[in-house]
Structure formats: C-alpha cells, structure tokens
Structure 1
Amino acid sequence: MTEQHPSGGYILEELSVGMTAEKQVEITEARIQHFAEASDDFNPVHMDEEFASKTAYRGRIAHGLLSASIGSAVVGTILPGAGAIYLSQTLAFHKPVRIGDILIARVSVASVDPETARVVLTAEGYVGDDLVMNGEATVRVPRRRRPAKA
C-alpha cells in the first residue's frame, strides 16, 4: 500500500503502474448532513427516514457523490496527492452506502503518460467485501516539486 509522500504529493516520475492507496471513512449522520449542505442536495432518500423507508432502498442511503468524494480525497491527499488535478472521472454505483457503513476508497495507478503528465487511476469503493462503486479518473500530475519557501 502506498503511503502519503513526505512532500504531500508524488511527482510524475515517482509514479508507477500498480501503486495503490486507500482511505477508510465511517459514513455518519453528520457527514450526510454536511454533504447535503455543501452540495445543496437534500433529496429525501438521503435525509428523511420515513420517506426513504418507502423506496426500493428501504431506508436512507448516503449520497453517491459523498462516497465518491472519499476517493477524491485519496487522489488529492495520498496518491498522487497534493498537486494532482482532476481532468475526468467516470463512476458506476452498484450498491447503496448507509449510515454506519465504513467505506473503503481505493485508488490504483493504471497508466502513466510521461508526454502529457497524465495519470489514469482506477477507483473503487467497498463496504466490507462488497464493491459499491467503481470508475476511472484521469489526473494531471506535476513533473517537479515547488521549491521550499525561504
């Protein structure tokens, strides 16, 4: 498992196919509430147990993009880390994530293009052994670190 680089981010030349990093986060009532406020998405399937209990999910579920944002946290803070800029992301959601679930967001380097400084990452989300989401991200990665401030 790849750890956060001491500088905060990997540069292009330090990345190789197969590098993998993950982050585990508990999905809480507070996270769902904060995400709803940040995104302005107050869909009752996320916010209202009575409403959600009458849906196909039989109860509240977390926002899909809340779960996906944990993968974004891996990209922005661990692999590649600070300096990585999202260019695109695909996502497929397979199972709902609920309050109390521990979401494991896992990101792996699938390819590195030294000409364009673009890196393709596979992204997966798990609750236990269940794949709840997956996709692919393309990010631009710095070729060198900024010099330390004097």
Structure 2
Amino acid sequence: MIELVTKHPSGGYILEELHVGMTAEKIIPVTEARIGQFAEASDDFNPVHMDEAFASKTAYRGRIAHGLLTASFGSAVVGTILPGAGAIYIAQTLGFHRPVRIGDDVMVRVSVVAVDPESARVELACEGFVEGQLVMDGVATVRVPRRRRPAKD
C-alpha cells in the first residue's frame, strides 16, 4: 500500500518517521536550458544531446536528454521531499528504458521499500515516467538522520 507524502514541515523526515510504502512524486520539465546546464556541469557534450543534425541521424531520430540528467530528478525528490533535508546518497542502481526529449515532463516517483534502523539507511525505489511510460528506474540507498536538532533560541 502506498501513502503519498509531501515535504515534511521541517524539510526532512527522520529515520523514525519513515516506513515502507511512503511515496513522493514530482513532475520536472525537460528543457533546452536544463540540458545545456547539465552538459556544462557534467562536461558531457555528446552530440546526441546537443546537436539536432547529428542526433537526427541516430536511432533516436533527434536529440535526447542525458540519462543521468533524468536520473538526477530522483535526487531532487530524495533531497527535498522523501526523505528530504539531511538524506545522504550511499548507492544508486539505474536502468534506462526509453529516451527522454526536450519538452517532456518527467514524473518522478520515489517510494520507501526498506528501513534499516541499525544503520539508519533506507532503500528507495526510484522511477521516472513520461506520459505514463517508464523511462528510468532503480533503487537508491540513503542514510537519514535519526533525530532532529533542537531549535535555536
């Protein structure tokens, strides 16, 4: 059973608040600007992402977004919604199933699939969809805080 959650008022869920089935979703548009910024940040200027003339001659018949750009949308959910602030990535598996293009809206879904109280680690199923079609999936392992710091007076 899934329980759709929103951002915690404090900015992040602590370990004791997390349970299997908690799920968060976010829709992120793929734009020319995002692709350009990701190319700059990653130094990946593969012409299949940057050059329409080149990309139109590939099996994709046009430009596609970087796979790791799409995967980073999962990080946006993990770092800001579920678990949110304080979560630290330990590991991530990824599978890419369909190309993502400029103009697509990627709906990212992150769900808690396991909680390990001893290690303060949580496993999260991460999926990305465009128009209901799975474009990417994987499992993230993140470390989360055990308790909140007291508010400053």
* TM-score (normalizing by structure 2): 0.97
Q: What residue number does 2:13 align with?
A: 10
1:21-32 equivalent positions in 2, closer than 5 A:
21-32=24-35
Following TM superposition, by how much is the alpha carbon of 1:146 offset from its aligned partner in structure 2, in angstroms?
Answer: 1.7
- Per-residue deviation, residues 118-144 of structure 1 (Å, max 9, x unmatched): 100000000011000000000001000
Amino acid at match of 1:139: V
Q: Is 2:118 the partner of 1:134?
A: no
Q: 2:91 aligns with which of 88, 93, 106?
A: 88
Partners in 2 of 1:104 and 1:69 — Cα distance? Answer: 12
Report the secondary structure of 2:95's partner residue. strand
Instruction: Work out which of the residue numbers 43, 65, 69 in structure 1 matches 2:68.
Output: 65
State the alpha-carbon separation in 1 of the partners of residues 125 and 83 from structure 2.
12
* Deviation digits for residues 104-125 of structure 1 (CA, Å, limit 9, x no counterpart): 1110000001111010000000
* CA–CA distance in structure 2, aligned partners of residues 5 and 30 of structure 1: 29
Displacement, 1:50? 0.2
* 1:81-119 deviation line (CA, Å, top 9, x unaligned): 000000000000000000000001110000001111010
Tell me, in whole angstroms, the C-alpha distance in 1 between the residues paired with 2:16 and 2:142: 14
- Name the amino acid aligned to 2:104: D
Quote the RMSD (CA, aligned, Å).
Answer: 0.6
The runs of 4+ residues in structure 1 deviating greater than 4 Å are none
* Partner secondary structure for residue 94 of structure 2: strand
How far apart are the structure 2 equivalents of 1:107 and 1:44?
31
CA distance in 2, matches of 1:84, 1:8: 10
Show structure 1 runs of 5+ residues with no match. Answer: none
Pairing partner for 1:77 from 68, 76, 80: 80
Offset, 1:48: 0.1
**Alpha-carbon separation, structure 2, partners of 1:147 and 1:44:** 50
Helix, strand or coil at the partner of 2:45: coil
- Output the amino acid matched with 1:117: A
SS of aligned partner of 2:44:
coil
Calculate percent identity across the aligned residue pairs: 77
Secondary structure of the structure 1 residue equivalent to 2:93: strand
- Whether 1:39 aligns to 2:53 is no
User: Structure 2 CA distance, aligned partners of 1:92 and 1:74?
Assistant: 18
Structure 2 residue 136 is the aligned partner of structure 1 residue 146: no
What is the distance in 2 between the residues matched to 1:79 and 1:40?
Answer: 29
What displacement does 1:149 show?
Answer: 2.6
Q: Secondary structure at the match of 2:61?
A: coil
